């Protein structure tokens, strides 16, 4: 959860002769809250350039150069857990297995919702809070946002982070779990998106037993992709 992708990478493929480089003082580069000494960052034509290898490796990636194709490839680093909320209130999965489990089951239900032989509504009734179900009898359709259409499907997903939001009126904890998933819209002009959402998980009492339920969701980000994304590791 500690790797924070907070740098914007600019790849300079060639240097244009005669272009002035402006340096109003020394530029500093900070990655994951740590200053990188001698980073080589510089300002050119009102744009800041940073070395691709230094930033990528600091974020856990591996950089490889293909001299024949004159291509740079970066692997790893971006598929791990992310400290979305920049805190330690949700430090590990073991203590919060039940919370993580209900979100995992919900995402699995979304993935299976597009099978004609699968009754997604029944699963969602077990995973969603009474209020969420009351808001819409077809909760899985609007509640899931972009994946609410049978023409779209989730190819893969990953739990990124979690936190404790506070407590309810009965002094039970309320959690929030961040999930990133890849959405594919099949067709002649297939489109791909990577969506990050936060799910609020509450506790409900049913027949004198406590159950974790997803109560709300909110969109954190949507990124359009030019090609089919690789599965999360």
The tens digit of pLDDT for each residue in 161-206 reads 888 889 999 999 999 999 998 888 766 566 888 889 999 999 999 8
What's the rounded mean pLDDT across residues 40-69?
Answer: 68
Report the 10 Å Cβ neighbour count for 154: 21
Q: How far apart are CA 202 and CA 212, in angstroms?
A: 6
- For the chain, which residues make up each domain, given as ranges? 21-75, 97-225
Element (H, E) at 99: helix 97-112
Give the pLDDT score at 175. Answer: 93
Give the pLDDT score at 114. Answer: 53
**How far apart, in Å, are the Cα atoms of 191 and each of 61, 115, 185, 224?**
26, 20, 5, 8
The tens digit of pLDDT for each residue in 140-149 reads 443 444 344 4
Q: How far apart are CA 214 and CA 165, in angstroms?
A: 14
**Domain 97-225 falls in which CATH fold?**
Nuclear Transport Factor 2; Chain: A, (3.10.450)
The yes-or-no verdict on residue 82 having pLDDT over 80 is no
What's the whole-model pTM score? 0.58
The tens digit of pLDDT for each residue in 199-225 reads 999 999 989 999 999 998 888 888 888
**Burial class, 199, CB count within 10 angstroms (exposed 0-12 / middle 13-18 / buried 19+):** buried
The yes-or-no verdict on residue 81 having pLDDT over 70 is no
> What does residue 22 show for φ and ψ, rounded to 5 degrees?
-100, 135
**Burial class, 145, CB count within 10 angstroms (exposed 0-12 / middle 13-18 / buried 19+):** middle
Model confidence at 2, in pLDDT bands (50, 70, 90)? very low
């Amino acid at each position: 959860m500690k790797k924070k992708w907070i740098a914007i990478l600019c790849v300079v493929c060639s240097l244009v002769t005669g272009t002035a480089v402006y340096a109003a003082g020394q530029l500093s580069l900070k990655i994951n809250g740590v200053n990188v000494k001698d980073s080589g960052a510089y300002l050119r034509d009102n744009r800041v350039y940073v070395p691709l290898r230094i930033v990528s490796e600091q974020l856990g990636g591996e950089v490889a150069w293909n001299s024949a194709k004159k291509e740079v490839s970066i692997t790893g680093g971006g598929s791990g857990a992310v400290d979305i909320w920049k805190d330690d209130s949700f430090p590990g999965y073991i203590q919060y297995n039940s919370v993580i489990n209900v979100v995992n089951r919900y995402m699995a239900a979304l993935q299976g919702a597009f099978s004609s032989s699968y009754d997604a509504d029944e699963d969602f009734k077990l995973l969603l809070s009474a209020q969420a179900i009351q808001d819409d009898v077809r909760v899985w359709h609007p509640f899931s946002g972009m994946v609410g259409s049978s023409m779209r499907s989730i190819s893969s997903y990953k739990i990124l982070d979690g936190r404790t939001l506070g407590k309810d009126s009965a002094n039970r904890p309320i959690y929030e779990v961040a999930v990133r998933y890849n959405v594919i819209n099949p067709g002649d002009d297939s489109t791909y998106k990577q969506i990050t959402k936060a799910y609020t998980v509450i506790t409900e009492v049913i027949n004198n037993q406590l159950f974790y339920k997803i109560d709300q969701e909110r969109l954190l980000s949507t990124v359009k992709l030019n090609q089919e994304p690789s599965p999360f590791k």
